[in-house]
Structure formats: structure tokens, C-alpha cells
Amino acid sequence: GLTREHDPVKIERDLVKLVPRVDWHRFPHLLIWHGRRVCLARTPRCGGCVLSDLCPSSRVEAS
């Protein structure tokens, strides 16, 4: 994933290393959009996902 942390402060610390400062205000909205359009609960579109290399779920075979 983007982080292995569970504490919000530590998660933020990890994310600011990944996301350019200019995009900090947009990043949460982009993640929400991504979840609604690409990372769908029942039928995720892992093949077209730009985060698939970071996502452990993209490596799980569908049943």
C-alpha cells in the first residue's frame, strides 16, 4: 500500500513523502475519485489501475 502505518499522524508522514506539496489539497479528492471509478469493491479494475504496483489487493486472484 501507500503506507503500512495505522496511526493517522504516521500515515500523513508517509504520504507527504509520496505526494508533491502542490497536490496535497487535491490528493484526498483524487483517492475518493479513484475508489469510485477504478477500485470498485465488487469488480475492481486492477488492470487499468495506476496504483496496482503498490496495492496488495491487485495481486489477489479473483475467485
The answer to whether 16 touches 24, Cβ cutoff 8 Å, is yes
From first to last of its 63 residues, the chain has per-residue pLDDT tens of 889 999 999 999 999 999 999 999 999 999 999 999 999 988 899 988 998 888 888 877 655
CATH classification code of 8-59: 1.10.1670.10
Instruction: Give the residue extent of every domain in the chain.
Output: 8-59
The answer to whether 36 touches 42, Cβ cutoff 8 Å, is no
Please enumerate in sequence order all residues whose Cβ is within 8 A of that of 12, keeping only pairs 6 or more positions apart, or say none.
Answer: none
